[in-house]
């Protein structure tokens, strides 16, 4: 490069820099704006009734001058998982786990390859698998979730959840946690609430990753639970073996029952997304003082899924949100969160 060329470049650079000053100023303002946005506790939420409902509830329960004030040690918030904290469509992640575990089970006991429902699962034909009966699914649950000690099961789930990917985004299932709800969990904890997951899914399954993914420790996961049986292994070491005995069916009326059993007091706030959460929200909202009930409505077919059938969305086997639930929400002042309108983005990895 000649000196002239070099000068010219420098001149261009200087002129360019001067010309950029207003833009720089805008950047600085933007930086301030960004800082303000970092201070926004719910940056992935658009402003609206749902966001205001959350912030208003937190003000009411944490301001000592408020009538709705709740002492910090009594602050409890419960969150459904599937469809509320992460994607549940087209099929619950734990069901995927059970199906993908079948080949391992068959390898250990090859005779199962010729036996239903295992032979159907091994075909990988999802249309046929979708037609399996409840009785068939129970056989798969028993084969994949019971008979081992609790630590072995946890290790199996940990290995699977660390590498299995969903079919649409090709992401780890744990990446399909909703970013706006992660912000709600963090904001509730920052306001002194103990956050619990209350899931129809298996609590032993969710506990494997709840701390890492949601910041919720295993002992704050309440879910459907199979019993265990205490005994001794061949080396006389005490073990807990997972049994095919349903101890808690943590769905519908089982949710408030599970909450009483595991937590022992009525939460002030609850989040769900389907008829499975209805009784939990009714129970929470019926308490005295400030209460928050919130349902996530899946109405964003392009960024996630749209199903219902509230608001004319299609009915599905997973995650029922009928018109009656929508009507009850409106009548009893539960907030309905529109994923399409209330959420700026759905996932941490993108929009």
> Applying CB under 8 A, which residues contact a copy of itself?
73, 76, 150, 194, 203-204, 207, 211, 217-221, 225, 227-231, 237-238, 240, 247-248, 253-254, 256-257, 260-265, 279, 282-283, 286
Cβ-based nearer residue to a copy of itself, 103 or 227 = 227
Question: In the complex, what is the shortest distance from the CB of residue 163 to a copy of itself, in angstroms, rounded to a whole number?
Answer: 23
Cβ-based nearer residue to a copy of itself, 241 or 313 = 241
Cβ-based nearer residue to a copy of itself, 122 or 239 = 239
Question: In the complex, what is the shortest distance from the CB of residue 207 to a copy of itself, in angstroms, rounded to a whole number?
Answer: 5
How many alpha carbons fall within 13 Å on the CB side of residue 344?
Answer: 14
Cβ-based nearer residue to a copy of itself, 44 or 203 = 203
Which residues, in sequence order, are CB contacts of 96 under 8 Å at separation 6+? Answer: 164, 173
Residue 151: C-alpha distances to residues 127, 134, 158, 211 (Å): 34, 27, 10, 17
Question: In the complex, what is the shortest distance from the CB of residue 129 to a copy of itself, in angstroms, rounded to a whole number?
Answer: 30
Q: Given the DSSP bridges, would you call strands 238-248 and 221-232 parallel, antiparallel or unpaired?
A: antiparallel
Question: In the complex, what is the shortest distance from the CB of residue 276 to a copy of itself, in angstroms, rounded to a whole number?
Answer: 13
Question: In the complex, what is the shortest distance from the CB of residue 113 to a copy of itself, in angstroms, rounded to a whole number?
Answer: 32
Cβ-based nearer residue to a copy of itself, 238 or 312 = 238
Question: In the complex, what is the shortest distance from the CB of residue 232 to a copy of itself, in angstroms, rounded to a whole number?
Answer: 9
In this structure, what token pair is assigned to residue 296?
A: 């996530």
Chain CA centroid to CA 17, Å: 47
Cβ-based nearer residue to a copy of itself, 61 or 203 = 203
Question: In the complex, what is the shortest distance from the CB of residue 49 to a copy of itself, in angstroms, rounded to a whole number?
Answer: 24
Cβ-based nearer residue to a copy of itself, 112 or 262 = 262
Question: In the complex, what is the shortest distance from the CB of residue 95 to a copy of itself, in angstroms, rounded to a whole number?
Answer: 21
Cβ-based nearer residue to a copy of itself, 74 or 166 = 74
Question: In the complex, what is the shortest distance from the CB of residue 250 to a copy of itself, in angstroms, rounded to a whole number?
Answer: 12
Cβ-based nearer residue to a copy of itself, 44 or 274 = 274
Treating both helix axes as pointing N-terminal to C-terminal, what angle do 150-161 and 93-108 enclose, rounded to 10 degrees? 110
Print the SS3 string covering the chain: CCHHHHHHHHHHHHHHHHHHHHHHHHHHHHHHHHHHHHHCCCCCECCCHHHHHHHHHHHHHHCCCCCCCCCHHHCEEEECCECCCECCCCCCHHHHHHHHHHHHHHHHCHHHHHCCCHHHHHHCCHHHHCCCCHHHHHHHHHHHHCCCEHHHHHHHHHHHHCCCECCCCCCEHHHHEEHHHHHHHHHHHHCCCEEEEEEEEEHHHHCCCHHHHHCCCHHHEEEEEEEEEEEECCCCCEEEEEEEEEEECCCCCHHHHHHHHHCCCCCCEEEECCHHHHHHHHHHHCCCCCCEEEEEECECCCCCCECCEHHHCCCCCCCCECHHHHHHHHHCCCEEEEHHHHECCCECCCC
């Amino acid at each position: 490069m000649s000196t002239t060329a070099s000068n010219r470049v420098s001149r261009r650079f200087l002129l360019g820099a001067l010309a950029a000053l207003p833009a720089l100023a805008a950047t600085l303002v933007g930086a301030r704006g960004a800082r303000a946005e970092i201070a926004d506790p719910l940056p992935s939420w658009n402003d609206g009734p749902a966001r205001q409902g959350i912030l208003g509830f937190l003000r009411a329960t944490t301001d000592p001058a408020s009538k709705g004030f709740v002492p910090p040690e009594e602050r409890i918030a419960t969150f459904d998982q599937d469809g509320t904290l992460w994607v549940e469509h087209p099929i619950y992640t734990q069901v995927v786990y059970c199906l993908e575990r079948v080949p391992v089970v068959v390898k250990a006991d090859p005779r199962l390859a010729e036996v239903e429902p295992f032979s159907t699962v091994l075909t990988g034909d999802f249309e046929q698998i979708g037609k399996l009966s409840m009785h068939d699914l129970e056989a798969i649950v028993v084969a994949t979730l019971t008979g081992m000690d609790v630590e072995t099961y946890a290790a199996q789930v940990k290995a699977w959840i660390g590498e299995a990917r969903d079919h649409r985004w090709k992401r780890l299932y744990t990446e399909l946690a909703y970013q706006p709800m992660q912000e709600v969990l963090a904001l509730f904890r920052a306001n002194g609430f103990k956050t619990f997951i209350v899931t129809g899914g298996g609590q032993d399954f969710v506990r494997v990753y709840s701390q890492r993914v949601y910041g919720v420790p295993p002992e704050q996961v309440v879910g459907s639970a199979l019993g265990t049986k205490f005994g001794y292994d061949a080396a006389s070491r005490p073990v807990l073996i997972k049994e095919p005995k349903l101890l808690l069916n943590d769905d519908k009326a089982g949710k408030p029952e599970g909450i009483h059993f595991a937590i022992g007091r009525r939460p002030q706030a609850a989040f769900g997304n389907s008829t499975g959460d209805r009784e939990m929200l009714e129970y929470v909202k019926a308490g005295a003082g400030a209460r928050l009930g919130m349902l996530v409505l899946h109405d964003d077919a392009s960024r996630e899924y749209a199903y219902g059938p509230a608001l004319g969305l299609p009915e599905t086997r997973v995650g029922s949100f009928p018109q009656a639930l929508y009507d009850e929400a409106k009548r009893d002042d539960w907030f309905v969160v529109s994923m399409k309108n209330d959420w700026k983005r759905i996932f941490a990895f993108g929009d």
